[in-house]
Amino acid sequence: MTNGEYLYARVPADMPRWIEGLALQMTIAGRDAPARQRGSVIHAGNAAEIADYPDADTGHVDDAVAAARAAFPGWAATSWDARRVMLERFADTLFEHLDTLALIVAAESGRPLRRAWGEVAFAVDYVRTIAAQVLPDVRIERPGARVRLRRRPLGVAAAIAPWNGPVILAVAKIANALLAGDTLVLRPSPFTPLSALYMGMIGRGVFPAGVFNVITGDAGVGAAMTVHPDVAKVSFTGSTATGKRIAAAAAPTLKRLTLELGGNDPAIVLADADVETLADTVYRISLENAGQFCAAIKRLYVHESIYDAVAAAIVQRAQGAVPGSCFDPASTMTPVQNRPQFDRVWALYDDAVAHGAQVLTGGVRHEAAGLFIPPTLVAGIGHGVDLIDQEQFGPVLPILPFSDEEAVLELANRGDYGLGASVWTRDVDRGIALVERIDAGTGWVNQHGAFTAALPMPFARQSGIGMDYAEYGVAEHSQAMLINAKL
């Protein structure tokens, strides 16, 4: 989506001062919640501080949960329609603030402004799509009884969001919880807290006080949310390792969980695949966006007969990348968002090279201060090397040739993840038959990472628990209750 181009002409000359002027605050019970300490946001494009923000401590968790708990009975008692209407107003409000939010997202994430704009525009659509969902009572026919399964709100939900899609991944959690009748405490990633703070502030004019609270804070604050006795539900997006810690922390009170975790998605490219479409997708989701997408293609298995053509098509796109500031309309290449992730991706790259990887493109460290990793394609390594066995979450993609379909299916099913998988072929029936044999939450044919809030997103194996989007994400924020009346 490139409709945000006009915004490049409106970038504030002094971005830190512009952000300071927004006077971002946490929102608890519809009001500013002062903080004793401040955190800082490092801009990935130049590794310099771009903003500081009010940083929560665990006391804020108690305050925010108390506010959400106090607001819960009133919110749960409002009609589904009333909650839908408020979410539609929230979508309209996000749209009114689209430009400001896009500038904030670019500043805090370092991604090109047009992509940040696209993220917020999609987020508006996500809220509208989720707001339109319904969870009607289900009548069950039984002789001599009137039986129905109804859904009711759960209580206070805690949402812990990641840095790779600070608005889009947060709004899905907001809309799911609030439509279901839960009240919410949202805690964004400490790497990208600014857009969430802003959404909390604009949300004050939409939702009753206490319904939608936003606090910041580090992993300790996140952990305090997951053990709080008054939190009924935790919705978390992040790594599998943290997801396991959250599941353990939530166990003593059996909190409901939606865990959207890591992935190591395979793509299998058959001999008759459309090379250009595949190369466009690989470049767009796995390389250009610095690979910071849960469902990027992270292992690319290509039939030996078209291996050279696929590699060449990806290399050609990667070599057109223009690294530079996210506020420069000419730059197309996104830096990695944060230093730990930057170091991790280079370590995986170095390890692959030490194992004999052949670098088809990229791999060269950029002299600029920012956290740039060029789009990198490596060949000549197999399973047993971490770049293939683990999630890289960065723009370094391994490409592997295959000749035997059964053997490649076995490789695709290796490892503990099960987020997504794709098969690429002109024979769609064959593609479906093959992708069904991969143990993943989503199986795509001739596309990958294609999400919309209108379709469910299930999580298989250690890529998560539960299902997001469509009516399913909302249902996960509700408690099913069976009513069984004897006639």
Nearer to ligand NAD, 155 or 238 (CB): 238
The Cα–Cα gap between 120 and 166 comes to 9
Nearer to ligand NAD, 324 or 458 (CB): 458
* Residue of minimal Cβ distance to ligand NAD: 222
Chain residues that interact with ligand NAD, rule: CB under 6 A = 160, 162-164, 169, 189-190, 218-219, 222-223, 226, 237-239, 242, 245-246, 260-263, 294, 391, 393, 419, 464
The Cα–Cα gap between 396 and 375 comes to 6
Nearer to ligand NAD, 222 or 266 (CB): 222
Q: Where are the beta strands (DSSP E) in 322-416?
A: 358-361, 376-379, 396-402
Q: Are 370 and 338 in contact (CB under 8 A)?
A: no
The minimum distance between CB 459 and ligand NAD, in angstroms, equals 6
Q: Which has the closest alpha carbon to 248: 259, 237, 264, 263?
A: 259
Helix (H) or strand (E) holding 275: helix 275-281
Q: Cβ atoms within 10 A of the Cβ of 220, count?
A: 11
The Cα–Cα gap between 165 and 162 comes to 7
Does the active-site annotation cover 260?
yes
Nearer to ligand NAD, 401 or 458 (CB): 458
Nearer to ligand NAD, 30 or 443 (CB): 443
Residue carrying the six token digits 């959690």? 173
Residue carrying the six token digits 């009548």? 139
Nearer to ligand NAD, 164 or 376 (CB): 164
Residue carrying the six token digits 């199986």? 443
User: How far is C-alpha 50 from the chain's CA centre?
Assistant: 23
The minimum distance between CB 145 and ligand NAD, in angstroms, equals 40
Q: Are 173 and 186 in contact (CB under 8 A)?
A: yes
The minimum distance between CB 61 and ligand NAD, in angstroms, equals 11
The minimum distance between CB 94 and ligand NAD, in angstroms, equals 20
The minimum distance between CB 39 and ligand NAD, in angstroms, equals 11
The Cα–Cα gap between 249 and 221 comes to 13
- Could you give the count of Cα atoms lying within 13 Å of 212 in the half-sphere of its Cβ? 26
The first and second tokens of residue 154, run together, are 């759960």
The minimum distance between CB 58 and ligand NAD, in angstroms, equals 12
Among candidate residues 119, 260, 391, 471, the one labeled active-site is 260
Q: Which residues contact 189 (CB under 8 A, 6 or more apart)?
A: 161, 162, 163, 166
Kindly list the catalytic residues. 260
